[in-house]
Amino acid sequence: MENFILYEEIGRGSKTVVYKGRRKGTINFVAILCSDKCRRPEITNWVRLTHEIKHKNIVTFHEWYETSNHLWLVVELCTGGSLEMVIAQDENLPEDVVREFGIDLLTGLHHLHQLGILFCDISPRKILLEGPGTLKFSNFSLAKVEGENLEEFFTLVAAEEGGGDSGENVVKRSMKSRVKGSLICTAPEIVRGTDFSITSDLWSLGCLLYEMFSGKPPFFSECVSELIEKICYEDPLPPIPKDSSCPKASSDFINLLDGLLQKDPQKRLTWADLLQHSFWKDAFARNDQDSSTEDSNVSRNMEYSGSQDATELLKSPQGGQAKGEKSGQRLSHSFRLENPSDLRPKSTLGGQLNESMFLLSSRPTPRTSTAVALSPGDAVTQSSPQKTSPLTKIASGHMSQQDLESRMRELIYTDSDLVITPIIDNPKIMKQPPIKYDPKILHLPAHSVDKLVFLEDQDWNDFLQQVCSQIDSTEKSTGASRAKLNLLCYLCVVAGHREVATRLLHSPLFQLLIQHLRIAPNWDIRAKIARMIGLLASHTSELQENAPVIEAITLLTELIRENFRNSKLKQCLLPTLGELIYLIATEEEKKKHPRECWAVPLAAYTVLMRCLREGEERVVNHMAAKIIENVCTTFSAQAQGFITGEIGPVLWYLFKHSTVDSLRITAISALCRITRHSPTAFQNVIEKVGLTSVINSLASAICKVQQYMLTLFSAMLSCGIHLQRLIQEKDFVSTIIRLLDSPSTSIRAKAFLVLLYILIHNHEMLLLSCQARLVMYIERDSRKTTPGKEQQSGNEYLSRCLDLLIRHMVQELPRILGDILNALANVSGRKHPSTVQAKQLKMCLPLMPVVLHLVTSQVFRPQVVTEEFLFSYGTILSHIKSIDSGETNIDGAVGLMASEEFIKITLSAFEAVIQYPILLKDYCSTVVDYILPPLVSLVQSQNVEWRLFSLRLLSETTSLLVNQEPDDGKEMVNVDSDNNLLALIRDVLLPQYEHILMQPDPVPAYALKLLVAMTEHNPTFTRLVEDSKLIPRIFEVILEHQENILGNTMQSVVALLNNLVACKDSNMKLLYEQGLVRHVCSLFTETATLCLDADNESNNDTAAALLFSLLDILHGMLTYTSGVVRLALQAQKSGSGGSTQAAEDLLLLGKPLIDLVSLLIPLLPNEDPEIFEVSSKCLSILVQLYGGENPESLSPENAETFADLLTSKEDPKDQKLLLRILRRMITSNEKHLESLKSAGNLLRALEGLAPAGGSSANSSVASLALEILQAAGH
């Protein structure tokens, strides 16, 4: 049987939780409802009606399961939320959307009605949206087959489950309320008491359409009686959208609503009329033939034909899914009301009802909206999309271990661990018949409880006297005994009231009851007296010291001892004995010091211990265990009486060997509460049966037992018992971590608490825990306890346990780093560490992965990355530098693989930190002073992996540091940090670069990325690169990698050149002299050719990005040249005598760029407007500087390009730029003029622009076009 992975919670009701889930081993996501078993009738009804239905407008049922505590329903996942949510968000929907949604609703409902199913509770919250916007009917809890009585079905299912124990009438009354849905969309005839029908569903459909359009239902009131009045007697107001700016309802829509919301069901629209209504605009035209006979086709019974045995289908809930269904096909099987037991969910493998088949995932998936609608009593609390924020509730500051353990002790026992249920009349122990009395033979006034409470003292005394007189009567006739029994039954009834019980227990009647318990000859009377005493003890609100409870306890003990082999007698007397002891214990706990008058005789404890032993009847065992459970909940002398050496093993035996879950839970709960007083009780169990057996029991137990067992371990660990053994037991730790997959919040919280005790005393287990995904479990549950979300009591407890665990782990990290540093410092500079030093290294270095786990977690990262952490980390890197250089040797101590793994994890940890620059914002100087120097040294490592890793880290860190914006008041710190960074790069890093750039790939790529990061934002670094004489070496890299122009190395080279050219302080003349022009021409030619190649689609994006960078470089170079030439011409024109030689030299160096004209023109029509913009600017400057020297500038292809552009470009600015380029070409080169004369399309384009007049912009375009035409002789 496949397990399911549960992801985040996507909906919640009072008794149901909805998870997004996935079947293990597949990628099929589903919605999984985890429901209390008390909702079996609703879930069973849902399954029986939908397990065969496959329809696009109905949520598909997949399968269902039963585990020990829950029913699990697996259905189709709808990611769009509910219609109720859509209406709430949009307030109202446009009529077109209402029509589109309405078509889905009609299609789904029509299909249900054809199958004979009535939905009965149509409302917006039961309609879900699939991603594309398809509406689907969900939650068939209250749907039914037409003509059947759903109340009877619910009653039968409840009775089958055991829900009928308290009386058939009570169950029927409760079912009557359970089958009622939302009143707001209920039809008038249903409100008046008639049964659901097709027409009542159509009324609800009308209400839904009305609400979608107007944003509110047609009938609404907070007062139920007023709402009923409106539904039955008032006409709805015309639908008006909440947003007044929206269009009003069309006449077709109003007519449709009038037809659906007719009070008289006979006048309401039929399916035939509804499907043919003009509002739908013939959407259902293809179904006209079917719908015209619809009313006669819908059957009135559930007698479906089918050859397959229904029982076979029910044993395999998804058995019917293989059969496809055509529209209008009837259900193939009948789930008769008399046989609800046939409908059974799957259990887990081997019939084990094990919750662990549904595993909570520690990996979140993207949030989806509620996947299913829950039943009326299960209002859903919708979860908003999760924000990935760290747990912010943890207070800052260090917590001592003493304070930590003090707070942990407060969390060991929760209210749910100490729940008290009655010992007497407890149906889980033994079902008692209801107490009845006959008022006719009651020889005193049969006062009600309310009357007795308000009796005056005199009347009360008279009443007591009559009661005592009848009980004390010595008449021995059968009638007298029957009357006495009848009186005792009456007293048992009234003893259930606290005030009455308190008054009776402190009256003479109580002493008389004890006396007759001793002397009554009739055991029926004795049994009824014992029950009466037990009920008084159970319900009294206080106990006075003069009450003879010890006398009653002593007597009950003697009676049990004297008749110990009489099991029935023990079952009669034990509950009373237990209630009396528990009453004394609770009163003593209130008064906070023991009373001698309430000392329970030792014989009572002995009797109860005997009742626990093997061989006794199950009911007797259960009663004795229940007494211990209740009494030991208190801190009293009575609780101490049960603490013996054998109590733990005896209760454990009951837990292990009982076949009844309720007894097993009581036994382990009693052991849990005894351990609260004496942890040695659980220690004795472990010593007797073995730790392995106890751990196995924990792993395989049901949820409630797991909760108690985790409490037992917490209590024992808090006292140090078995501490050293448990904290070293890996199986124990692994079992506890597996419990973090439990669906129970309490179990996960207690598992975190047990883990915390282990980690406090053995931090090496932190590594095992992290490897077992502890950090991911913490992240998952941290999201559920995020501030701002409504906290349930379970989540609040989980949050408190998590807080302490996270706090401890945060405080543990500096200790781990400190141990690692000490171990490395002890061997620093040593070639051969000693045995002790080697042992220390083996213990400490393997803990480095813990650091990586914590810094990659959104919960821990903001708390662990501090200045102290970065300083320690930098020091570890310095030791790694020493190890890498061979100065220190740890390979012999820990092994080569362990040494390399340690270095790799250390570097990975810092890589994780720098992904979040905000963490380093306040610690820039620490990073520069302590972390970057050893990283720079590792660039020279002989290990290629470390060399690459350190280059990558340097690149990202440097980029991060130079991009930091200083905070107010920190400018001086940042200046010092920048100066130190500059010195480090200048003096240590750049001198290595000539060698680094000549290394095999991918070393140059990472090295160049670092230079790109350095030069991108800070001109100082640009000057450093120029001064380091690296430019020729970079150009050599271009030559070596020119065959792979789109590779990472070339991309980094181009990015670096772009930064150099863009920097205002760059020495462009030097770059030109070193060969910049030649290399840019070569790179541009290859890249542009790739981009213009229509057949090359594989690397289009990369080539386009590279081309854009090269265009930027080209534009920067041309702009610089143009500026120099312009200044020289201005100086010459003004007569200032300035030399033009520098400009002429620069023009000569840049002359190869002329060849790019023939590539720039084909780039102009590029789809990217930015490429057109930069290409046209480059082209304009080129022809301004060099004229039409390129003979191919106005080739026929380029002339066509100009013609197309002048025709397609509508912006006058673009047209003017193109015309000026054209004019410059033809006026500077006669050959181009001749080419123009023969370019017919280009001339026609110019003629199209020449006559344009009007605005000044257009006239300038026209004049330019005219000028070119005139030059061409037109």
CA distance 110 to 116: 10
R_g of the chain, CA atoms, integer Å: 43
1171-1188: average pLDDT? 88
Q: What is the band of 314 on the pLDDT scale with cuts at 50, 70, 90?
A: very low
Residue 320 scores a pLDDT above 60: no
**Residue 1191 burial by CB count (10 A; 0-12/13-18/19+): exposed, middle or buried?**
middle
Strand partners, 1102: none
How far does CA 1242 lie from the centroid of its chain?
64
What's the pLDDT score for residue 290?
46
Strand partners, 58: 55, 137
What's the pLDDT score for residue 1097?
63
Is residue 345 within 8 A of residue 132, CB to CB? The reply is no
CA distance 693 to 702: 16
Residue 367 scores a pLDDT above 70: no
Q: What is the band of 172 on the pLDDT scale with cuts at 50, 70, 90?
A: low
CA distance 160 to 341: 7
What's the pLDDT score for residue 284?
83
535-541: average pLDDT? 92
Residue 1011 scores a pLDDT above 80: yes
How far does CA 1170 lie from the centroid of its chain?
43
Residue 834 scores a pLDDT above 60: yes
CA distance 249 to 302: 40
554-579: average pLDDT? 91
Long-range contacts of the stretch 1082-1090 (C-beta < 8 A, 24+) = 1082/1038, 1082/1042, 1083/1038, 1083/1045, 1083/1050, 1083/1054, 1083/1110, 1084/1110, 1084/1114, 1084/1156, 1084/1159, 1085/1155, 1085/1156, 1085/1159, 1086/1042, 1086/1045, 1087/1045, 1088/1156, 1088/1159, 1088/1162, 1088/1163, 1089/1159, 1090/1045, 1090/1046
User: Which residues contact residue 778 at a Cβ distance below 8 angstroms, ignoring those fewer than 6 apart?
Assistant: 752, 802, 805, 806, 857, 859
CA distance 1211 to 528: 104
C-alpha distances out from residue 344 to 19, 160, 661, 692, 1222, Å: 22, 11, 21, 36, 85
Residue 1219 scores a pLDDT above 80: yes
- Beta pairing, strands 358-360 & 4-12: parallel
Say what the alpha-carbon torsion angle 1062, 1065, 1071, 1073 is, to the nearest 10 degrees: 140
Is the alpha carbon torsion for 128, 130, 135, 139 positive or negative? negative
Respond yes or no: is residue 967 known to be catalytic: no
| Portion of the chain with pLDDT greater than 90, in percent | 36
Residue 952 scores a pLDDT above 70: yes
Alpha helices for 943-1018 (secondary structure H): 944-963, 971-984, 990-996, 1003-1015
What's the chain's average pLDDT? 83
User: Which residues contact residue 223 at a Cβ distance below 8 angstroms, ignoring those fewer than 6 apart?
Assistant: none
What's the pLDDT score for residue 304?
35
CA-wise closest residue to 871 among 835, 920, 836? 920
Q: Could you read off the pLDDT of 424-443 as tens digits, one per residue?
A: 989 999 888 888 888 888 88
Residue 514 scores a pLDDT above 70: yes
Least confident stretch, 391-405, 663-677, 1101-1115, 1159-1173 = 391-405
* 26 compared with 359, residue with greater pLDDT: 26
* 312 compared with 1258, residue with greater pLDDT: 1258
What's the pLDDT score for residue 323?
34
Structure tokens at 708: 């108690």
401-406: average pLDDT? 85
Cis omega (within 30 of 0) for bond into 439: no
What's the pLDDT score for residue 820?
93
1141 HSE (CA, 13 A, CB side): 2
What's the pLDDT score for residue 321?
35
CB atoms within 10 A of CB 1064: 8
CA distance 841 to 686: 35
**Active-site choice (90, 96, 121, 731):** 121
CB atoms within 10 A of CB 359: 18
1149-1166: average pLDDT? 87
Strand partners, 9: 19
DSSP 916: -
CA-wise closest residue to 788 among 363, 369, 386, 368? 386
What H or E segment, with its residue span, contains residue 29?
strand 29-36
Helix/strand/coil for 383: coil
CA-wise closest residue to 243 among 83, 81, 95? 95
906-915: average pLDDT? 92
What's the pLDDT score for residue 300?
36
Q: Could you read off the pLDDT of 54-75 as tens digits, one per residue?
A: 999 999 999 998 887 789 999 9
Residue 1204 scores a pLDDT above 80: yes
Least confident stretch, 531-540, 635-644, 1248-1257 = 1248-1257
Q: What is the band of 1073 on the pLDDT scale with cuts at 50, 70, 90?
A: confident
**Residue 697 burial by CB count (10 A; 0-12/13-18/19+): exposed, middle or buried?**
middle
| Portion of the chain with pLDDT greater than 70, in percent | 86
What's the pLDDT score for residue 1098?
61
pTM: 0.63
Residue 1235 scores a pLDDT above 50: yes
What's the pLDDT score for residue 355?
57
Is residue 144 within 8 A of residue 117, CB to CB? The reply is yes
DSSP 78: -
CA distance 750 to 805: 11
Residue 369 scores a pLDDT above 70: no
CB atoms within 10 A of CB 193: 6
Residue 308 scores a pLDDT above 80: no
What's the pLDDT score for residue 339?
52
* 1144 compared with 1096, residue with greater pLDDT: 1144
Residue 929 region, left (φ>0) first, then alpha (ψ -120 to 50), else beta? Answer: alpha
CA distance 922 to 867: 9
Q: Could you read off the pLDDT of 750-793 as tens digits, one per residue?
A: 999 999 999 998 888 999 999 999 999 999 998 877 654 444 55
User: Which residues contact residue 48 at a Cβ distance below 8 angstroms, ignoring those fewer than 6 apart?
Assistant: 335, 343
User: Which residues contact residue 119 at a Cβ distance below 8 angstroms, ignoring those fewer than 6 apart?
Assistant: 109, 112, 137, 140, 143, 201, 204
1243-1272: average pLDDT? 76
Strand partners, 30: 21, 76
Q: Could you read off the pLDDT of 1180-1199 as tens digits, one per residue?
A: 998 888 887 877 788 888 88
Least confident stretch, 11-15, 128-132, 334-338 = 334-338
- Beta pairing, strands 16-23 & 29-36: antiparallel
Q: What is the band of 966 on the pLDDT scale with cuts at 50, 70, 90?
A: low
Is the alpha carbon torsion for 343, 348, 353, 355 positive or negative? negative
Residue 1094 scores a pLDDT above 80: no
Q: Could you read off the pLDDT of 607-658 as tens digits, one per residue?
A: 999 999 888 899 999 999 999 999 999 998 899 999 998 999 999 999 999 9
* 314 compared with 591, residue with greater pLDDT: 591
User: Which residues contact residue 400 at a Cβ distance below 8 angstroms, ignoring those fewer than 6 apart?
Assistant: none
CA-wise closest residue to 542 among 505, 575, 513, 512? 505
CA-wise closest residue to 1087 among 998, 1159, 1028? 1159
Question: Cα angle vertex 417, ends 416, 422, to 5°?
Answer: 85
Q: What is the band of 317 on the pLDDT scale with cuts at 50, 70, 90?
A: very low
Q: Could you read off the pLDDT of 212-233 as tens digits, one per residue?
A: 999 999 998 888 888 888 999 8
CA distance 115 to 201: 14
